[in-house]
A and B are shown apart, each in its own frame.
Chain A
């Protein structure tokens, strides 16, 4: 190994008194004082949320307004902190969507446990659960921090969807292969 000795210049008298340095420091801070402020004043101004931000997990409906979740419980099984609880339910045979067969009767996500890992979104075969841009989840009680099905849908809203899997199935059921 080779070493290179760095020559250190001795401090000049002015530098040893620190006074020029202090004055330049004061100049810098004064400039900052008159500069425009950089603070985002939060409740009024919101930060821009980048695409693909992993906020609070939500349930989404398809553009037809039908819930996409079929309560397969994959998200419940994959959830590392066990934050998701699903109670699967049948869809009544008389319903228009009877061919989907299942829909969650209850769907709770405990936000005190959720770690925003996004595995539920990854694993969902129906693209029904999405981590969206809600970043300020707060509440005063433990009960408030559990998102039930109603609130999950309210938060999730509707996302654009190319598949309409269950529409296609229904069309196939009615018209056979002629529909395609």
Chain B
């Protein structure tokens, strides 16, 4: 099977890989919406959605009941509802941009997955660890930032095309918030790459190399994850990530309380759900990037790198383990997003701006200066 795959032309391999990556990402995004409902319910002391069931699954004695109580089928019911309910399009919208906005939201969210490695496999031929990635390019993280921030165009477009006050305000807020937090986010990862890129060597922004820099053997300096070296970087990055993905407490573009739903007020049915798939895809990719940068990617524990563990195993099994470890960590962060959402109240908009410009940005700049000096001192000594 592996041989068959390797003998295919390169473009077929790429297309297959792309389909698999999207085939994994979209169900995760869908499952996130389900998880959000369940976790919010659990935090609020309710069992959450647990009624819908497909008849022929109900016949399975124990398992069917378990799935029903877990609310798995509500996802299908939601999907069916989104497809079949009446599609209301207000008469006052700019039709072209109104229809194109959800697509503009979805495309960058799915494109960022191209440069995010979601695992690694041991290549027996070259005896090195190779990333499970669609495009192993050196600009890795820059590409994630560049494409990922295009998602805000969708929000602005949706807000503007809706031709209505609340969505418009939501779109404007989204753009201002994204600019404010993008700065801190970019600054917060600079120390990581200062550390990864030794002077004189080949400079790289690849996320795979960042993980490689965190997978040293037992009790070595390079075995410690960056979150322990650079907790402040991780903290700033995480806060900026919350703001970038428009999650509470930073979900200014939506904020039902004061903007009725913000940019998607005028949207319904399937177009609305695409916005949410995009948001969850963003969240998944964002969590993945955080795991890669600061939490050792697919290395199971600090000082326990993946490479020796999977080097003896078949290629597909090793890849599966690596992807499993990575996805496990990512899912924890997705859980954290939801956990925080149902804990903290939403910020006021002026607080969001104040936090971004007056607190987070100076913190990030000071952080960069501190690590630049520290790394220079270490290199010189």
Contacts and interface: CB of A to CB of B under 8 A. Distances in A.
B39 A33 contact: yes
B343 A26 contact: yes
B342 interface: yes
Interface stretch (A36-44, A79-87, A120-128, A144-152): A36-44
Nearest to A36: B45
B339 interface: yes
Nearest to A17: B359
A32 B43 contact: yes
Interface in A96-139: none
Given A29-B339, A30-B339, A22 B45 contact: no
Chain A interface: which size bin?
A: 10 to 19
B344 interface: yes
Chain A interface SS verdict (over half): helix
A39 B45 CA distance: 7
A32 B339 contact: no
Contacts of A29: 43, 339, 342-343
B339 A26 contact: yes
Contacts of A30: 339
B235 to A, nearest CB: 9
A8 interface: no
B332 interface: no
Q: Interface centre among B43, B342, B343, by most A CB within 10 Å?
A: B343
Contacts of B342: 29
B325 to A, nearest CB: 23
Given A29-B342, A33-B39, 19 more contacts: A22-B340, A22-B344, A25-B343, A25-B344, A28-B343, A29-B339, A29-B343, A30-B339, A32-B42, A32-B43, A32-B45, A35-B45, A37-B42, A37-B45, A37-B46, A37-B47, A39-B45, A39-B46, A41-B47
